[in-house]
Amino acid sequence: MDETLIDSDTLPLSRKSVLPGAGFFTPDREGPSEDRIARLGRAETVVVADGDADGLGCVALIREAREDPRLDVSVEDDEITYEGTVPVVPTSPHRLSEALEQVVEYTPEGVEVFVCDLCPDREGDVEALPALVEHAASVSWFDHHQWDEDLAALVRANDVELVVGESDEECTTDVALRSLDHEFDEKYRDLAAVTRDHDLWLREDPRSDDLADFAYWGYYELYVEVVREHGADLPSEVERYLEERRVEKQALIDQAVERAELHTIDGVVVAATYGRCSQNEVCETLRERGADAAVVVKPSGSASIRGSDGFERCHEVAGQVNGGGHPKAAGCKPDIYDDMLDYAHHWTTRGAVTKQVILDAFRALPEQDDEGVDTER
């Protein structure tokens, strides 16, 4: 492949906004890298976590609780050689099964396992769980999403310690902080509070956007080690790095906002848009413009759904289209992409099919009475 075709650094912003990143076109088809295999091979504890600030915050806490040596890192580090005994397998809900299989295949028998900030959408996501439990000394699972009761029972039936926090009160870093048998410094309590501020979209602490952006743009090992050293008060070199990146970030937000279209569905104003962008800021802007709920479809095929005080059923919408989450924040990836032609249509139509599928899920929500109880249509 001509790599210049997918090089985000050379693409015009208008095209970068509608195409996925280079990693989409060059997936790791041969399994984990030799470096990751080596890290997993010396693990005493391993963390399978979502790669956002909340999931990586859990990694920082677990490394601290297990007294893993800290690394001396710089924001200029593109990749970090991690030589500790608490490696992380960053993943997403849609690749959870694959991540669990990696732990079984590459870590020593008797390893301690934590799964953090990940909620399975279907039984297939936890197919590897029996093998993982047999392989590991213990498996603990910390989360704060809205769990299907049957899936939660299935996980617990496999002898997994599952702790799920209240999704509108705690982030998963909060859950890890109170669940780990360790006396954490105040710095880590502050880190959990600031992470919660962003993850629950409270936006009362200006540092929370910094954490979220740094986790998104920085190499995951860099994020973990910086917050272990500094907590939520990021050093000046990181602040300068974020300031530079935010110029382009705002331009991508503006393009996504301009593409948005409003739909009124059973009295709910839903804004739907498309683009590679920071979905939280896009959705916040659309809510300020009158939307009760907002949908941001990504070039990768996934989508983020955000609600408001007037709409708290995002997880129900996402649950219909291969996803899940919280009442006011959820994600999904509709199962509609069979080959690259489908993705080509997705990019050229700015996610038209995906938007329609999600809007149909809004329409399919059962009616509710004044107390929020489903009624027959």
Q: Phi and psi of 121, rounded to 5°?
A: -95, -20
pLDDT at position 130 over 70: yes
Distance CA 141, CA 160 (A): 7
| Residue among 251, 175, 239, 187 at smallest CA distance from 213 | 239
CATH of domain 31-234: 3.90.1640
Give yes or no for a contact between 213 and 245, defined as CB atoms under 8 angstroms apart.
yes
- The predicted pLDDT at position 286 comes to 97
| % of the chain with per-residue pLDDT over 70 | 96
Distance CA 297, CA 190 (A): 33
In sequence order, what are the residues at sequence separation of 6 or more whose Cβ sits closer than 8 angstroms to the Cβ of residue 72?
none
Give yes or no for a contact between 322 and 299, defined as CB atoms under 8 angstroms apart.
no
* Terminal-to-terminal C-alpha distance of the chain: 52
Q: Phi and psi of 43, rounded to 5°?
A: -70, 140
- For the chain, the structural domain boundaries read 31-234, 260-363
pLDDT at position 43 over 80: yes
Distance CA 354, CA 356 (A): 5
For residue range 177-201, what is the model confidence (pLDDT) as tens digits?
Answer: 999 999 999 999 999 999 999 999 8
Match 């069979």 to its residue by tokens: 338
For residue range 334-347, what is the model confidence (pLDDT) as tens digits?
Answer: 999 999 999 999 99
Decide yes or no: CATH 3.30.70 for domain 260-363.
no
What CA–CA distances, in Å, run from 365 to 210, 246, 312? Answer: 35, 37, 12
In sequence order, what DSSP letters do the residues of 327-370 get, joined into one string? SSEEEE--S---SHHHHHHHHHTTSHHHHHHHHHHHHTSPPB-T
| Residue among 277, 289, 193 at smallest CA distance from 232 | 193
- The predicted pLDDT at position 31 comes to 72
For residue range 66-94, what is the model confidence (pLDDT) as tens digits?
Answer: 999 998 888 877 778 899 999 999 999 88
pLDDT at position 134 over 70: yes
- The predicted pLDDT at position 256 comes to 97
For the residues 10-36, what does the mean pLDDT come to? 82
- The predicted pLDDT at position 377 comes to 44
For the residues 11-35, what does the mean pLDDT come to? 82
Confidence band for 160, pLDDT divided at 50, 70 and 90: very high
- The predicted pLDDT at position 242 comes to 96
For residue range 255-305, what is the model confidence (pLDDT) as tens digits?
Answer: 999 999 999 999 999 999 999 999 989 999 999 999 999 999 999 999 999
In sequence order, what are the residues at sequence separation of 6 or more whose Cβ sits closer than 8 angstroms to the Cβ of residue 104?
128, 131, 132, 135
- The predicted pLDDT at position 179 comes to 98
Q: State the DSSP code for 311.
A: B
| % of the chain with per-residue pLDDT over 90 | 81
pLDDT at position 1 over 80: no
Q: Phi and psi of 360, rounded to 5°?
A: -65, -35
- The predicted pLDDT at position 370 comes to 62
For residue range 299-338, what is the model confidence (pLDDT) as tens digits?
Answer: 999 999 999 999 999 999 999 999 988 899 999 999 999 9
Averaged confidence pLDDT in the chain: 93
pLDDT at position 143 over 80: yes
Confidence band for 27, pLDDT divided at 50, 70 and 90: low
Give yes or no for a contact between 59 and 46, defined as CB atoms under 8 angstroms apart.
no
- The predicted pLDDT at position 7 comes to 78
For residue range 202-221, what is the model confidence (pLDDT) as tens digits?
Answer: 889 999 999 999 999 999 99
Helices (H) and strands (E) in the chain, counts: 16, 11
The residue type found at 234 is L
- The predicted pLDDT at position 203 comes to 86
Q: State the DSSP code for 112.
A: E
For the residues 33-60, what does the mean pLDDT come to? 96
- The predicted pLDDT at position 372 comes to 65
